[in-house]
Every structure is written in C-alpha cells, then in structure tokens.
Amino acid sequence: MKLENSANELINFRRLLHKCPELSGKEIETAKKIVRFANTFDADKILTQLGGNGVAVIFEGKEKGKTILIRCDLDALPISEENGFEYKSVFANVSHKCGHDGHMAIVSGLFRQLSEEKLTKGKVVLLFQPAEETGEGAKLILNDSKFTELNPDYVFALHNLPGFAKHQIVIKYNEFASASKGLIIRLTGKTSHAAEPEKGITPTLAVAELIYGLLDIPKNKSLKDFSLVTIIHSKIGERAFGTTPGYAELMATVRTYKNEDMLTLTNCAEELINKAAVKHKLKFEIEWVEQFPATVNSKECVDIISASAKENNFVINKINEPFRWSEDFGYFTQKYRGAFFGIGAGENLPQLHNPDYDFPDEIIVTGVKMFYSIIKKVLA
C-alpha cells in the first residue's frame, strides 16, 4: 500500500490516542493501544514495560547490520483541552498539547512500511517512550537492561514545531534543545512575634537577595553561551499578621544552551545560596528536579536528516540558535550517536502546551517519510 493511502489509518489512530490522553508515567492504556496496533502488522519482536510503560516494536533484517532507534513519546499534559472537535480529550485536565499523539502516529506509520518492504540487513527499534514531559522517561528507559541490550548504533527523534511552515524540516548541528532543570531552595530560621522580628531568624532578606542574585547569574563571565534563570515561585512564612516568618521557599528554572554551562550555573547558584544562608544564619536545603541535558546532535546524523529531507523534496530550515525548551532525548544523544529534528506544524498553529493546540494531521506522512528515508540510509 502506498503511504499516502495509509494516511487515513494513521489519522484515525492519532485521534484515538488524542481522545484518551494519559499523564507522564501513567500511559498504560496508550501503551496497550500501540501494542494492539503493532500486532496487526509483521514486527519481529515487541517489548513492553520498558522503563515503566515504554514499548519497543522491533523489525529485523536477515543479515546482521547496524541498529537504528527511532523514538517518540507517549505522554500528555495536565492541561484542560479547549477544542470542540469530536475526538477531543474525554478527560478533564489531561490532553495531548505537545503533539505526542502525532509523534506516535508518525512512528506507528513505520509498522506498515517495514512490514510491506522487509529489511535485508540490520535492525530497527521503534521506541515509544513514557514520561517525556517530566524528564524522567528517557532515564528510566536507559536504565532498563531490556533496552540497553538493544544497544543502538544510531538514535533519531523529532518534534512538531508550531510557528514553522507545515512540512518544513528544521535542523541544527550541535545543540538543538537546551539543558534545563528546576531548583528548589528551602530556608529555615525561627519565627517570632511580628512586633519583635529581631528575636527571630527570618529568611525574608535572604529570599530578596537570592532573587536578585540568581537572576544575575547569566551575566557571569565564565559562561560560554546563552543561559537563563526564571524565578517561578516563592513563599515566605504564613498569612498571619502577627508572625515574623521563620521559613521560606524559592523556586527557579535554569537553562543553558551548553551542558558545560549548566555545571557552571549550578555551582554559581549553590555558592550564592550558601553565602546568603550563612549571612542570615539560616539552615538551607537545595534540591534539583526535572533535569534535562542539552540535546546535542552529531554532524553525521544531521547530514543524514538533511539528505532525507532533500530526497523527499521537503524544505530544509537550518536554524542557528538552539531552542530554549528542553527534550529528554538529550539523555539518548549523551549516550548514543544521534540527532533530533523538527517538523514545521504551521505558522499560525497555537504554540505547544497551549489549551487550544492540536497536532496537524497533514504532517504525519511527512514524518513517516523522513524516518523511513533515514532508516534506509543508516542501514544501507
């Protein structure tokens, strides 16, 4: 069957996934739907429960050769859908607002391609990864021995990109998406009467100094490239006019283009917190969460993506700056040779994570064609 003819099958599958979205780490029914769909084709092996709810659908050629991994993501977001179409999310406060339903449909499009045109050599691993949004899924997959035994030679993945013309292939050498992580600072002193603040130990000034200090870190001369600190939350004491606060929490998200800059930024932040705590006689705790390394593309793999786009007559958009958002595919590119690329999802499409966003069905076939060309080039 020609790929264009199977487009409807993939659109229906995408909408089926869209209707019943599941949050990170809870993608049980989504994973089952993938397995059920894969079972209607001719895969050589299907692995389930990889790093949680992960699924790998494997196709093998008769001769030994390279192993290529194509990865997509299973999870949705805790956002309530503001769309009225008939396949809208049936769950309150959960919906596919990052287009992972579309990514799954694209990678599932390879089931038919690889069943109808058998590989002569090598192996293709189609990975449906859980928990991308929290930065946990890739790590769990990479620590699962069922996965590491597959030991891919090459890894590839894509993301749909609102703001870019439909079907455009967005590529970049080196860093594609930023490193990022969340910082939680807990400062503990001692409460006192609001009339006698001098008898307590209050974290108020430390919080104020830390807000200024953290926001200033990107000016640090030893950083090599772009970095950003965003204060996202703070809480000092309770809503009680009689009390001088004795406890505070401050949260920030930090991001850098380069992994090495993330180390510098981390050290600067910890030093700052330490100093502020000592100065104001506070006990402190630092916690780093939702950590994503930068997604760093290999030149060889970007060239393969670019050749695949040319072969299919897709417009290539070579960007110069990495994206500020993060992707946990960075854990894969840290360990394996690989690359990440974007597919334009339409200039006027609502942005990712917006309540009215929906993945454009027209680019499913574009994604399947790209991955199929990449697979053929790598295994040739």
The binding site for Zn ion (CB under 5 A) comprises: 98
* Minimum CB–partner distance for residue 159 and Zn ion (Å): 6
* Minimum CB–partner distance for residue 292 and Zn ion (Å): 11
* Minimum CB–partner distance for residue 228 and Zn ion (Å): 18
CA 277: distance to chain centroid?
34
* Minimum CB–partner distance for residue 73 and Zn ion (Å): 6
How far apart CA 44 and CA 54 sit, in angstroms, is 17
How far apart CA 146 and CA 224 sit, in angstroms, is 38
Evaluate whether 373 touches 311 at the Cβ level (below 8 Å). Answer: yes
Evaluate whether 174 touches 294 at the Cβ level (below 8 Å). Answer: no
Q: Which is nearer to Zn ion, 54 or 246 (CB)?
A: 54
How far apart CA 307 and CA 119 sit, in angstroms, is 20
Q: Which is nearer to Zn ion, 55 or 77 (CB)?
A: 77
* Minimum CB–partner distance for residue 75 and Zn ion (Å): 8
* Minimum CB–partner distance for residue 93 and Zn ion (Å): 16
Q: Which is nearer to Zn ion, 257 or 329 (CB)?
A: 329
Evaluate whether 157 touches 332 at the Cβ level (below 8 Å). Answer: yes
Q: Which is nearer to Zn ion, 257 or 323 (CB)?
A: 323
Q: Which is nearer to Zn ion, 97 or 280 (CB)?
A: 97
Q: Which residue is nearest to Zn ion (CB)?
A: 98
Closest CA to 17 of 353, 347, 364, 343: 364
* Minimum CB–partner distance for residue 196 and Zn ion (Å): 48
Dihedral angle at the C-alpha atoms of 3, 86, 128, 160, nearest 10 degrees?
A: 70
Question: What is the length of the chain?
Answer: 380
How far apart CA 311 and CA 305 sit, in angstroms, is 10
Q: Which is nearer to Zn ion, 276 or 364 (CB)?
A: 364
Query: For residue 29, what is the enclosing H or E element?
Result: helix 28-38
As beta bridge partners, residue 352 has none
Q: Which is nearer to Zn ion, 247 or 332 (CB)?
A: 332
